[in-house]
Chains A and B, each alone.
Chain A
Amino acid sequence: MSRILDRKLRRDLHGMRGPAAAIALILACGVAVFVCVLTAYQGLRDSRDATFAAYRMADLYAPVRRAPRALTRTLERVEGVRRVEGRIVEEVTVDLPGLTAPCSARVVSVDLARDLAMHELHLVEGAWFDGDGDRQVIVADRFARHHGLATGDRLLVVLNNRKEALRVVATAFSPEYVYMLRGGGELLPDPERFTVLWVATPFAESVFDAREACTEFTALLERGVSLPRVVAEFDRILDRHGALGAYGRADQLSTRFLNDEIAGLKGMATIVPAVFLGVAAFVLRMLLARLVQTQRGQVAVFRATGYAPAQIAAHYLKLVLAIGGAGALLGAGAGLWFSRWVLRMYGHFYQFPILEFPVDPWILLGGGGASLAAATTGALGAALRAARLLPAEGLRPEAPRVFRRTLLERWRAVWTRLGFVERLILRNVTRQRRRTVATVAGIAVACGVLVLADLMQDSMEVLLDHQFRRVELQDARVGFESERGTGSMHELRRLPGVRDAELELAVPVRLVRGWRERRAAITGLAKDQRLRALLDREGRPVPPPRDGLILSSSLAGRLDVRVGGEVEVRFLRGSRRVVRVTVERVVEEYLGSFAYAGSDALARWLGEGGVATGALLLVDADRAAEVGRALKTVPAVASVIFKAQVVESFRSTLAASQDIMLGVIRLFAGIIAFGVIYNASRIALAERERELGTLRMLGFRRREVAALLLGENLLLALLALPFGLGLGALFGAALVGAYASDLYRLPFAFEPATAIRASLLVLFFTLLAALAVRRRLFGLDLVETLKTRE
């Protein structure tokens, strides 16, 4: 390779450091997103896998009403089962003095001697149970930290209607509760009002009167075993004992959320970086084409002197590779750094005993390679054109551009009314079509990314509004410890501050259609339901079903059933009946998979009526605390969830992470917009130094000449806006699609304010780019520009 060409390369790069840096930054954004998202994806996946392996996450869960522990032997004989453990899992309430409402907890029994075949606990503080483990408890670390609990503290827990003071011996993580959700449609962990409590088996057996009995079996399976077959076998064996339906690890609540998040990340890892790298390639193409054009004469001299075409092509490729390499290094570094932050952010939601921060050389190489590839793709054409240039041709002055009247100019009525500056702007924009298209496309992408940032917020707002203002009309939802008679409604209505109460019945079922089946809960809907609305995604009310089921679209999809089709409902409680029911309607909803039935029909299918599993309350706004305190004294009440608190925690938890995320997206969009416009301006300036210099000689003020360039940029930005808004909508739809899961899907929402904000930001970045070029414009040496031959 040529030493002299390399020196020229360095000087060229220095001369175009502004545009080159802008392009390197765009490339860096793409690489950073790629590296960050993929690293976060790997980190989350590896943390999950490492945690599950090291802490022996079970493969199968089989809850029952109550069964003798001795059944583990029988279950272990099922083919493909390696190990079975029985344990007691019960929902209880915790009485925290500072809390106005009851706090619910899940008690899980563990072996006193810590002989755990699965679900090893990771103790953060404290030590395992001592002695007989009586009145000792291990508390979920997150809950303990939230409430400032330390080992040795006492925790008041209502166990089987008896309030007991338990001594906290340790705080812990469990692979089962990486994402610590209570269940029942919640999306975010709520350490304020929910925790897991691990107690020793002997203590659990005594307080729950369950000697040698358990309420859940967990199992480790052999590799490659058919899960549905084992599930069926477990259900058959446990049927007599009130099997609630066995399910695999993937359906375990915490794991399901975790897996969805991991899958969503993977989707994002490819879409977003591709957009950035594509734009960078575009801009680089523009820049290099211009550079080669300017340097035709120089290329010709090198060729005349005897430099080979390959040397020339390599020279220009090196130039873009330098830019691509800078983007790759910067992006990889920023991406890695940012992935640490993202993973730590995830650490607030997902608690791993083992949190992996991987540095995968392949991801770094992939990101860097993508940057180099994008740079090369963008520049290859121009580099080859330079190489193919015949030396004699390069020495001849370029044929003057043919100026013809543009379409607009033929429209005399409008054209003659335009000022001189406007005409110049319009001519330039319409004549440099390729560059106009490239610039407009670049700005449109930037605008699209800006829109995307806001769309995510809009979606969240629409979701919150839909779910918590229009679907859930109650102020508080009460969960009973076990099924209650309808009499409890009057008890609730009598509480001070309660304006209205409605009972709720949710029955665990297994829905079966052919070989497809799904665990779900059927909720009964009364004809005169007041505190819960059933709406479709457009917000239209859906009448309660008469004699069939209403399914959410995600559940219907899973079962592959359409309106008019039949599903088999296997009740997992009480009579354990099996009925065949028609699907009356499929409703698109945002949160969860659900199944609704008319309350009369549900009672008929069950063969019993007049029972409830919970209640919805309407509460005087200023008396919520009073209601909460009163509910703490009602023994049947296991949990109370105030809607306002849910919404509040939703906002505060998500806002923290979203604000930074959105800031970063905006920054990236700004870099694109600025980089594209800045490059286009620099090129336009270089091309028209003579024209602009002449204007200055003719007496134009700097301001007026600057207005010419700015006007052109603003026109291009305005042209790009409609495309950008449309593109943003497309990005948004793609992202919403990537994140849609059984558990929730984000609505697609595009508020006018979003369009306005994105448009204003694009114009702001346009002005910023104009300011950056202004210095150079004002620095033009008039005499020099007029002397320039090319």
Chain B
Amino acid sequence: MGEVEVHALVGVDLDVRPGECLVILGPSGSGKSTLLHMMGGMDRPTAGSVEFRGMDLATLSDADLTRFRRASVAFVFQFYNLIPGLTALENVEMAAEVGEAPRDPRAMLEQVALATRADHFPSQLSGGEQQRIAIARAAAKGARVLLCDEPTGALDRESGRLVLTLLRDLCKEYDTTLVVITHNAAIGAMGDRVLKMSSGKIVEVVENPRPATPGEIDW
């Protein structure tokens, strides 16, 4: 099982444990998105290292970084970032097509309870539905790490709760490491660990032996 060790931003030192649910809390501008991008091999640090299963992402070539993203991580973004020209199902297939251990796209749609909307285009779906498609897309890849950047940031409370529940359930079911970034402190309750960031630094790490289910969270 892999470990993600991060020396990032301003003297940030962090281990992510396999299978855990890590919530990174911080106000906007605290550097949490950058941290997430580094963990996902979308960006490189100017100094330091980002290790995944003993390989330093910071020194990988572009081609190797692409291979890393293809095999090992999946993303969920605040604004869903579905491809507008592809249907819901195709958006999920897009990830399955490159994943190393892909899961059946239709089954993934069923898991997020949107099998009936398979042929709809993103513009025909609500925000919550789009984010569920995005989760199905991330899950379809079969990656061991799921990185979520403000997954509920653009959603109303009900939709947000549903999205978090799906994330949590999927990760439990598939034994996936889940990293969620948010500025919403209430969401921290669902994490096995909560990391608080401010101005590019980790200011506090809280262990949470009894994480709440998303249904119990109120914000």
> Which A residues are CB-close (under 8 A) to B67?
306
Q: Are B85 and A306 in contact (CB-based, < 8 A)? A: no
- A660 is an interface residue with CB less than 8 A from chain B: no
Q: Which of A1-36 contact B (CB under 8 A)?
A: 2-4, 7-8, 11-12, 15
A786 to chain B, nearest CB (A): 15
> Which B residues are CB-close (under 8 A) to A390?
42-43
Q: Which of B73-103 contact A (CB under 8 A)?
A: 74-75, 77, 79, 81-86, 90, 93-95, 97-99
- A302 is an interface residue with CB less than 8 A from chain B: yes
- B183 is an interface residue with CB less than 8 A from chain A: no
Q: Are B71 and A306 in contact (CB-based, < 8 A)? A: yes
How many angstroms between the C-alpha atoms of A399 and B188 in the bound complex?
Answer: 31
Q: Are A11 and B85 in contact (CB-based, < 8 A)? A: yes
B61 to chain A, nearest CB (A): 11
- B196 is an interface residue with CB less than 8 A from chain A: no
Q: Are A301 and B81 in contact (CB-based, < 8 A)? A: yes
> Which A residues are CB-close (under 8 A) to B84?
298
B58 to chain A, nearest CB (A): 14
How many angstroms between the C-alpha atoms of A789 and B137 in the bound complex?
Answer: 22
Q: Are A8 and B69 in contact (CB-based, < 8 A)? A: no
> Which B residues are CB-close (under 8 A) to A11?
85-86
Q: Are A15 and B85 in contact (CB-based, < 8 A)? A: yes
- A297 is an interface residue with CB less than 8 A from chain B: yes
Q: How many residues of B contact A (CB 8 A)?
A: 31
- B1 is an interface residue with CB less than 8 A from chain A: no
Return the chain A residue nearest B36 by Cβ. A392
How many angstroms between the C-alpha atoms of A307 and B96 in the bound complex?
Answer: 11
- B144 is an interface residue with CB less than 8 A from chain A: no
A393 to chain B, nearest CB (A): 8
Chain A at the B interface: mostly helix, strand, loop or mixed? helix
> Which A residues are CB-close (under 8 A) to B137?
305
- A408 is an interface residue with CB less than 8 A from chain B: no
- A391 is an interface residue with CB less than 8 A from chain B: yes
Return the chain A residue nearest B66 by Cβ. A308
- B56 is an interface residue with CB less than 8 A from chain A: no
- B207 is an interface residue with CB less than 8 A from chain A: no
Given the contacts A7-B90, A392-B37, A789-B79, A307 and B66 also touching, CB distance less than 8 Å: yes
Q: Which of A297-332 contact B (CB under 8 A)?
A: 297-298, 300-309
Given the contacts A7-B86, A8-B83, A298-B83, A305 and B77 also touching, CB distance less than 8 Å: no
Q: Which of B171-198 contact A (CB under 8 A)?
A: none
- B70 is an interface residue with CB less than 8 A from chain A: yes
Return the chain A residue nearest B72 by Cβ. A306
Q: Are A392 and B83 in contact (CB-based, < 8 A)? A: no
A395 to chain B, nearest CB (A): 7
> Which B residues are CB-close (under 8 A) to A393?
43
Given the contacts A304-B69, A306-B69, A2 and B97 also touching, CB distance less than 8 Å: yes
Return the chain A residue nearest B87 by Cβ. A7
Q: Are B77 and A8 in contact (CB-based, < 8 A)? A: no
How many angstroms between the C-alpha atoms of A789 and B84 in the bound complex?
Answer: 13
- B214 is an interface residue with CB less than 8 A from chain A: no
- B62 is an interface residue with CB less than 8 A from chain A: yes
- B40 is an interface residue with CB less than 8 A from chain A: yes
Q: Are B70 and A306 in contact (CB-based, < 8 A)? A: yes
Per a CB cutoff under 8 Å, which of A3, A4, A298, A306 touches B66?
A: A306
B13 to chain A, nearest CB (A): 21
B118 to chain A, nearest CB (A): 14
Q: Are A391 and B86 in contact (CB-based, < 8 A)? A: no
Q: Are B66 and A8 in contact (CB-based, < 8 A)? A: no
Q: Which of A369-400 contact B (CB under 8 A)?
A: 390-393, 395
> Which B residues are CB-close (under 8 A) to A297?
81
A291 to chain B, nearest CB (A): 11
How many angstroms between the C-alpha atoms of A7 and B121 in the bound complex?
Answer: 13
> Which A residues are CB-close (under 8 A) to B81?
297-298, 300-301, 395
Per a CB cutoff under 8 Å, which of A8, A300, A304, A307 touches B86?
A: A8
Given the contacts A298-B84, A301-B81, A307 and B98 also touching, CB distance less than 8 Å: yes
Q: Are B83 and A301 in contact (CB-based, < 8 A)? A: yes
Return the chain A residue nearest B81 by Cβ. A301
- A3, A301, A789 pick with most chain B CB within 10 angstroms: A301
A557 to chain B, nearest CB (A): 62
A759 to chain B, nearest CB (A): 41
Q: Are A305 and B95 in contact (CB-based, < 8 A)? A: yes
Return the chain B residue nearest A388 by Cβ. B62
How many angstroms between the C-alpha atoms of A302 and B90 in the bound complex?
Answer: 13
Given the contacts A309-B66, A390-B43, A304 and B85 also touching, CB distance less than 8 Å: no
Q: Are B43 and A392 in contact (CB-based, < 8 A)? A: yes
Return the chain A residue nearest B96 by Cβ. A4
Per a CB cutoff under 8 Å, which of A15, A303, A305, A789 touches B94?
A: A305
How many angstroms between the C-alpha atoms of A297 and B42 in the bound complex?
Answer: 13
Q: Are A305 and B43 in contact (CB-based, < 8 A)? A: no
> Which A residues are CB-close (under 8 A) to B70?
305-307
Given the contacts A2-B97, A3-B97, A8-B86, A304 and B40 also touching, CB distance less than 8 Å: yes
A424 to chain B, nearest CB (A): 29
Given the contacts A7-B86, A8-B83, A302 and B94 also touching, CB distance less than 8 Å: yes
What 0/1 readout, one digit per residue, does chain A (509-529) give for beta carbons within 8 Å of chain B? 000000000000000000000
Per a CB cutoff under 8 Å, which of A8, A298, A307, A392 touches B42?
A: A392
A38 to chain B, nearest CB (A): 39
A749 to chain B, nearest CB (A): 53
How many angstroms between the C-alpha atoms of A11 and B71 in the bound complex?
Answer: 28
Q: Are A304 and B75 in contact (CB-based, < 8 A)? A: yes
How many angstroms between the C-alpha atoms of A306 and B66 in the bound complex?
Answer: 5
Return the chain B residue nearest A309 by Cβ. B62
- B32 is an interface residue with CB less than 8 A from chain A: no
- A3, A11, A306 pick with most chain B CB within 10 angstroms: A306
A397 to chain B, nearest CB (A): 10
How many angstroms between the C-alpha atoms of A301 and B75 in the bound complex?
Answer: 9
> Which A residues are CB-close (under 8 A) to B83?
8, 298, 301-302
A327 to chain B, nearest CB (A): 23
- B71, B82, B90, B99 pick with most chain A CB within 10 angstroms: B90
A399 to chain B, nearest CB (A): 16
How many angstroms between the C-alpha atoms of A789 and B74 in the bound complex?
Answer: 23
How many angstroms between the C-alpha atoms of A303 and B66 in the bound complex?
Answer: 7
Return the chain A residue nearest B44 by Cβ. A390
> Which B residues are CB-close (under 8 A) to A298?
81, 83-85
A586 to chain B, nearest CB (A): 68
Per a CB cutoff under 8 Å, which of B77, B90, B99 touches A395?
A: B77
How many angstroms between the C-alpha atoms of A308 and B40 in the bound complex?
Answer: 15
Q: Which of B123-158 contact A (CB under 8 A)?
A: 137, 141
> Which A residues are CB-close (under 8 A) to B42?
300, 303-304, 390-392, 395
- A8, A309, A393 pick with most chain B CB within 10 angstroms: A8
> Which A residues are CB-close (under 8 A) to B99?
306
> Which B residues are CB-close (under 8 A) to A306?
66-67, 69-71, 98-99, 141
Q: Rank and list the top 5 A-B pairs by shortest CB-CB distance, nearest first.
A: A306-B70, A11-B85, A392-B43, A392-B42, A392-B37
Question: Given known contacts A4-B94, A395-B77, what 18 new A-B pairs fall within 8 Å (CB)?
Answer: A3-B93, A4-B86, A8-B85, A11-B85, A298-B81, A301-B75, A301-B83, A304-B40, A304-B69, A305-B98, A306-B71, A306-B141, A309-B66, A390-B42, A391-B42, A395-B37, A395-B81, A789-B79
Could you jot down 30 A-B contacts, CB within 8 Å? Answer: A2-B97, A4-B93, A7-B86, A8-B83, A8-B86, A11-B85, A12-B85, A15-B85, A297-B81, A298-B81, A298-B83, A300-B42, A303-B42, A303-B66, A304-B40, A304-B42, A305-B69, A305-B70, A305-B94, A305-B95, A305-B98, A305-B137, A305-B141, A306-B66, A309-B62, A390-B42, A391-B37, A391-B43, A392-B34, A393-B43
B: which residues have CB within 8 A of A?
34, 37, 40, 42-43, 62-63, 66-67, 69-71, 74-75, 77, 79, 81-86, 90, 93-95, 97-99, 137, 141
